[in-house]
Structure 1
Amino acid sequence: MTKVINPLSTSNVATYEDAYHRRLAYSSGPFNATALHLARQARLLLCMRDSSISLFKISSKKVPATSEDGSDVPEISEGGWEPVLDMDLNVNTNLVASAISDNGEWVVVSDWYESKLFHMETLPTGELKPTRIKDFASILQAHLPNTPASTGASSFNFTPDSSKLIMTSAMSAYVLVIDLTTKPRILRRFDHHRMRNVVLGDRVMKGRKNSVVGEDVEMADAGGAAGSDESDADENILLAKPFVATVTRTAVSPDGQWLATSDDRCRTHVFNLDSIQHHCTLPSFPQPAHALSFDSTSPSILVLGLANNTIQVYDVESRTFPLWSRELTNCLPQRFTHLHDTILGVTFDLGERAVPRSALFWGATWLCRVQLDAGVGWGGFEKKRRWGGKRISTRQPKFSLATGPNLVSLTEDTAEKTPQNFKMVTHYRPIIFVDFIAPAELVVVERPLVDVLAKLPPAFFKPKYGAT
């Protein structure tokens, strides 16, 4: 008889009582992505369900009124949102992708086989009237030759000026740039996520040459030369075949110049939307990207949150990892990287008062503010407090690019003056969407389990105790 050792307990046998129990969080969209999207200018929130979508209007933030004595009287509004539109769609499968433009005039949804584009018209009564672009599928079909039975998409995104739509095809991994100024038309199609020789093994490679390294071609016999030619021909045929992946994340910079796409093969490409050309390819990471966003204060800074709760910062304009971010990305605190709930998204504050290089990461049960150009700091992760005593400081490794790792000892006074990074909030759970709708105005959408259970059908059998 073999005994199973429980790594979470000191006992030798893994029993139910000794195990660590927690309720698993659920994601609202496929590929651990969110099914909610925000239109900042129109203040609309799009919610995608299995076969329907809903639009909610978010009320504007009210300014506190001033009383006669000059004191502020806060205005309390009952509910900050209201439903404005519900649409039931005729689909072949469940909906897998959706998006709404920043001005609220365009809504696009897709299942695995068909994409549908709607133009939203605001009536004088304030209601929204959707109008479907019926020839949208035929426009896409002309640029998707390898998938005659599917015009579906795995991801959508609009540019900030709502003039272009970014679409990634579901079954062929094409990246389409669509112009929406007059009539929808395809500006260009990219096939970089279909290239097999982008990734060989676990590294980014250019591809192998036809010649075999270390072989003397002149001394090889006829049979060996023929076998080598056949193997090279087979290898060329293999590299020529498309290596189809699924693009799961897309992000557009705030100025509309850069587009970043990431697939389930851990490959990330950057495109220039001004010249409509491919710009660069990021090195492949060990985990797929769960969060992808550009900094609002520095539109060329791309921030990635991986599935193992690690952070990567990349400057797409200079095609390098900035020096100011390496101290943070190389020594993330363990309590952040070992969180049970992984990163689901990252967002940045808007406006002139936004703190530069300050990102807000979020998961299903937490929100965490991270200053990208600062050190790890303490931020509540490494603080220790004695019972009934003062806070004491612990030794914290500090990394420097010039001198390497150095251990520094901080006194209580210097620890209080140290800027706190990785501040975490766990009040909201489970979280399914987080984003800034205006400067210093954050929208957090949570779906409590009690509300989900309340809409389930009643129990089929209820035992009655004490009944004869």
Structure 2
Amino acid sequence: MEVHRCRFVKYQPASINALSYTPRTAKPTLLACGRANGNIEIWNPQWEWNLDKTIPGGANMSVEALVFTHQTILTDEDDYDTEEEKVEARKNLLAAPPRLFSAGLNAYIMEWNLHTLQAQRSVDSHGGAIWCMAANHVNTVLAIGCEDGCVRLFDIADGELSFIRSFDKQKGRILSVAWSPDDKYIVTGSSDSSIRKWDVTQGRSIARMTVEKLRREDTLVWAVSVLASGTIVSGDSLGHVKFWDGKLGTMLQTFPAHGADVLCLVASRDGRTVFTSGVDRKLNQFHLVETSISSKKRKAPSNNSSAGVPAPTSTTKWILAHNRRFHSHDVRALALEEDRPVNALVSGGIDVSLVVCPAQEFPDTTQRRLSCLPQKPVVSVSKTKRLMLCRFTNVVKVWRLGKGRLRVLLVAEKFVISCLTLTQWRSSHYCQLISSNIDLLRFPASAPTQPYLDMDIGAHLDLVEPQQAVLEMTMKDDRNITASALSENGMWIAVAEVEETKLFKVEDDPNYPGRLIVRKQKQFASSIVTPSTRGFGAHYLLFTPDSSKLVIAMTNSQVLVVDLSGWQEQRYEILRRFGQHRGMGENDERNDDGDEQVSTIVSMTISADGQWLSTGDLLNRIHVFNLDALQVRIYLGLYVSDIVYGRHCKDEYHTTLPNFAPTHTTLTFHSYHPSTLIVSLASNEFYLYDVELCRLTDWSRKYSEKLPIKFLQFKDKIMGFGFNPARPNTIVAWGVSYLCLIDLAKGVGDRDAVLNVAKRKRVEEDKAEAHKKVERRRRYEKLGITTPMPEPPRSALGEEGEGVEDDGVNFQVLHKFQPLMFLDFVGPDSMVVVERPMFGILEKLPPSFYKAKYGT
């Protein structure tokens, strides 16, 4: 197997600044993760933390605060005449999806449309940069802390986002904000070493608490929270965690629990547990415990107290219970959801990865680090031109893949020749000399039937031609790139963001041989812009295998098929609009973006022969379209009238797949069985569906629900499938941390089999050694020797599912590679993998906190 291990793609994720769970009333539970580049990721913990979608950010759009809201109360009950109308209105509020707000240093509050992933509305803070944001408990008012030292309230009830009032101005910027349990007052932490308590009705400060200063420098209060009991908790830049009496404003307890700034804290719903973290990377857990009071310390009741009231025998106090370190750099955000089945404490910061650990079992539990790499591949390959494209935040780069030196090993009698390139071998006189009596010819690429167990996966081939960077495009737009594609003939590059899709023609650079230049097709954008597509970009882009059409999954959930054959005349025609993901039937275009049937398109694939197109959305609707029927209609000139009248053709809309329970993660057509669609799910199950017959394949009906248990238990989701031309009956399923070879000519084998190839090799060696010992014991017994022999290892005896038979193993898993971003085959037994080692990401980060200790 020839493997091109590409580590020259320097993909760098952005740091995590903010986290927010959806309220308890919103279903399902989601987690929003805001990053420094403006991107907002929406994670679903239901199926082992699947990344549903990513809202793209842009220049100067760093997310500093995130809030999910879900209104459940009626703001004006007088608008309803009967109690039945009120009950119906409350049901509608509960059924409505949650709203997502973000704020940052660009001084704007943004509300996001979770379907189109575009900004739905925005409002200026009128106070400069926004450092913090919080919603009241009934989710009708939003409070923000601004650079100018003011707290401002915004009305978000009933779908609004409007300014209400501004509180009195204070010295220093407001860094943290929290609402009281009854929503009557707000607590803020600021940069002037103070914590203030504000009356919401009057907009005035009613209490002020101060923290210590060091060398007369102001202390920054980075985090505050108000517990269910009214106790105020604060974390500051001195590393102190303080507990305050919410009524009197007096300090109850203080803990110098951190070696540097406390940047974030989160409290449990009952107010008896608090988690804090910050620059020193330590995650501390505080508990409220009851302690008994000794008889000597009990105070006698005063004369004013009621007679007969006994003195208290116990009191409560906070203790630092546990601490762990999960991160390598500053922790900037924490989020807590205690209810099962989520039960997750999530943390994130400079080291770009989310860490999830069970909250109720903290610290006696194992954490899970979610991958920071894109869950949808950002790489596309032209196999014929050996070009590879990768998109970054606002840059697109193209490389030409290198060529390896094929080592030829020839054995002819006592004659061995090695280290010849294939060209040198064919041109040498050795070829004619030993071609007639050759005994063995072995190439680095393995034989089509060779199992992974027999592969030499550690060999390295020399490069005749290294990879070459041939093109780099920097987008001038302020918004981040959402999709990109490279055509198979290497002639086209398509790039999209949330409001526009651009097409570029690729040509050879006449001044620099080997490099490429691009020319933007200015007529393309104007050709596809219509009243229904104006202002909409794309979530997904794909070229057909013959590079004659571009398929666009738009942000408004329409699918466009654009003809590129008339590019010389600057003519780009929309051949078809598919609106099935907007809930549109054959003659129905009534639905708008707010309709519950509209959903974000998250996956798309085209068959190798160009006949079938399949798309899937977050409602798990997977549609299949017949592009061959479209070709016939184009040839007959029938598509023009259909576009004018907005009709949909039954022949083009082929079928809808059955709705799977887990969310689907990828759609892929088998390269050598073009009518077979492979659907992978968030549970790591996958199904093979014959779109021509509209049913599951025989293999899938028999085995898809009997996949190996260890394969289903992989935490990393399947990100794609590769197809080796030398092995048309096999597929390679791959995720961030593994690749798995699956032979569709076999069954699934032993469900409890050892899947790890390296581990299975050790098991096989143990079995062989155990077999030798058994045979030796039998020989000794025949000779009358009774020397005790050691028992073979348990794993070699096949106990506890460790020992496996060769005939029972099909799913062969390799964990050899660093975190994977892409995998595909560019030729028989020639595989391209794009790796992004974690150490390559961490070395780009600033130094982590270090505090010297005596004796070190």
* Both structures adopt the same fold (TM-score exceeding 0.5): yes
Secondary structure class of the residue paired with 1:135: helix
* Whole-angstrom CA distance in 1 between matches of 2:476 and 2:703: 48
Does residue 705 of structure 2 align to residue 330 of structure 1?
yes
Question: Compared with structure 1, are the counterparts of its residues 79 and 288 closer, same or farther at alpha carbon in structure 2 (3 Å cutoff)?
Answer: farther
Does residue 381 of structure 2 align to residue 38 of structure 1?
yes
* Whole-angstrom CA distance in 1 between matches of 2:389 and 2:614: 22
Residue from 597, 600, 603 that aligns with 1:249: 603
Question: Compared with structure 1, are the counterparts of its residues 62 and 278 closer, same or farther at alpha carbon in structure 2 (3 Å cutoff)?
Answer: farther
Does residue 544 of structure 2 align to residue 192 of structure 1?
no
1:403 maps to none
Does residue 319 of structure 2 align to residue 319 of structure 1?
no
Secondary structure class of the residue paired with 1:274: helix
Residue from 535, 550, 556 that aligns with 1:165: 550
Is the 8 Å Cα contact of residues 401 and 467 (structure 2) preserved in structure 1?
yes
Question: Following TM superposition, by how much is the alpha carbon of 1:345 offset from its aligned partner in structure 2, in angstroms?
Answer: 1.1
* Whole-angstrom CA distance in 1 between matches of 2:557 and 2:673: 29
Residue from 362, 365, 377 that aligns with 2:734: 362
Residue from 482, 485, 509 that aligns with 1:99: 485
Does residue 538 of structure 2 align to residue 153 of structure 1?
yes
* Whole-angstrom CA distance in 2 between matches of 1:48 and 1:272: 29
Q: How do 1:233-272 residues align onto structure 2 when only pairs under 5 Å count? A: 243-272=597-626
Percent identity over paired residues: 33
Cα offsets for 1:202-249 (capped at 9, x unmatched): xxxxx9xxxxxxxxxxxxxxxxxxxxxxxxxxxx99999683211111
* Whole-angstrom CA distance in 1 between matches of 2:483 and 2:700: 32
* Whole-angstrom CA distance in 1 between matches of 2:836 and 2:623: 33
Residue from 370, 376, 396 that aligns with 2:748: 376
User: How many residue pairs were aligned?
Assistant: 400
Is the 8 Å Cα contact of residues 328 and 373 (structure 1) preserved in structure 2?
no
1:135 maps to 523
Is the 8 Å Cα contact of residues 600 and 618 (structure 2) preserved in structure 1?
yes
* Whole-angstrom CA distance in 2 between matches of 1:237 and 1:118: 33
Cα offsets for 1:342-383 (capped at 9, x unmatched): 111112112xx3232x21111110101122352211452498
Question: Compared with structure 1, are the counterparts of its residues 46 and 439 closer, same or farther at alpha carbon in structure 2 (3 Å cutoff)?
Answer: same
My pick for the range that moved more, 330-339 or 56-65, is 56-65
AA matched with 1:177 = V
Is the 8 Å Cα contact of residues 197 and 239 (structure 1) preserved in structure 2?
no
Does residue 463 of structure 2 align to residue 77 of structure 1?
yes
AA matched with 1:14 = E
Question: Following TM superposition, by how much is the alpha carbon of 1:253 offset from its aligned partner in structure 2, in angstroms?
Answer: 0.9
1:443 maps to 832
Question: Compared with structure 1, are the counterparts of its residues 74 and 457 closer, same or farther at alpha carbon in structure 2 (3 Å cutoff)?
Answer: farther
5+ long unaligned stretches in structure 1? 199-206, 208-235, 397-411
Does residue 367 of structure 2 align to residue 21 of structure 1?
yes
Question: Following TM superposition, by how much is the alpha carbon of 1:74 offset from its aligned partner in structure 2, in angstroms?
Answer: 5.8
1:400 maps to none
Question: Compared with structure 1, are the counterparts of its residues 48 and 466 closer, same or farther at alpha carbon in structure 2 (3 Å cutoff)?
Answer: same
My pick for the range that moved more, 284-293 or 331-340, is 284-293
Question: Following TM superposition, by how much is the alpha carbon of 1:300 offset from its aligned partner in structure 2, in angstroms?
Answer: 0.7
Is the 8 Å Cα contact of residues 325 and 372 (structure 1) preserved in structure 2?
no
Does residue 518 of structure 2 align to residue 175 of structure 1?
no
Question: Compared with structure 1, are the counterparts of its residues 463 and 297 closer, same or farther at alpha carbon in structure 2 (3 Å cutoff)?
Answer: same
* Whole-angstrom CA distance in 2 between matches of 1:247 and 1:13: 36
Is the 8 Å Cα contact of residues 297 and 354 (structure 1) preserved in structure 2?
no
Question: Compared with structure 1, are the counterparts of its residues 155 and 19 closer, same or farther at alpha carbon in structure 2 (3 Å cutoff)?
Answer: same
Question: RMSD over aligned Cα, in angstroms?
Answer: 3.4
* Whole-angstrom CA distance in 2 between matches of 1:417 and 1:361: 20
Question: Following TM superposition, by how much is the alpha carbon of 1:417 offset from its aligned partner in structure 2, in angstroms?
Answer: 4.9
* Whole-angstrom CA distance in 1 between matches of 2:796 and 2:854: 56
Does residue 497 of structure 2 align to residue 111 of structure 1?
yes
Question: Following TM superposition, by how much is the alpha carbon of 1:20 offset from its aligned partner in structure 2, in angstroms?
Answer: 1.1
Q: TM-score, normalized by length of structure 1?
A: 0.77
Question: Compared with structure 1, are the counterparts of its residues 249 and 71 closer, same or farther at alpha carbon in structure 2 (3 Å cutoff)?
Answer: same
Secondary structure class of the residue paired with 1:138: helix
* Whole-angstrom CA distance in 1 between matches of 2:535 and 2:617: 22
Secondary structure class of the residue paired with 1:355: coil
Q: How do 1:343-422 residues align onto structure 2 when only pairs under 5 Å count? A: 343-350=718-725, 353-356=726-729, 358-378=730-750, 380-381=754-755, 388=793, 391-393=796-798, 416-422=805-811
Is the 8 Å Cα contact of residues 583 and 591 (structure 2) preserved in structure 1?
no
Is the 8 Å Cα contact of residues 118 and 133 (structure 1) preserved in structure 2?
yes
Residue from 821, 824, 827 that aligns with 1:432: 821
1:341 maps to 716
Point out the structure with max Rg over C-alpha. 2
Is the 8 Å Cα contact of residues 196 and 239 (structure 1) preserved in structure 2?
no
* Whole-angstrom CA distance in 2 between matches of 1:248 and 1:458: 36
Q: TM-score, normalized by length of structure 2?
A: 0.43
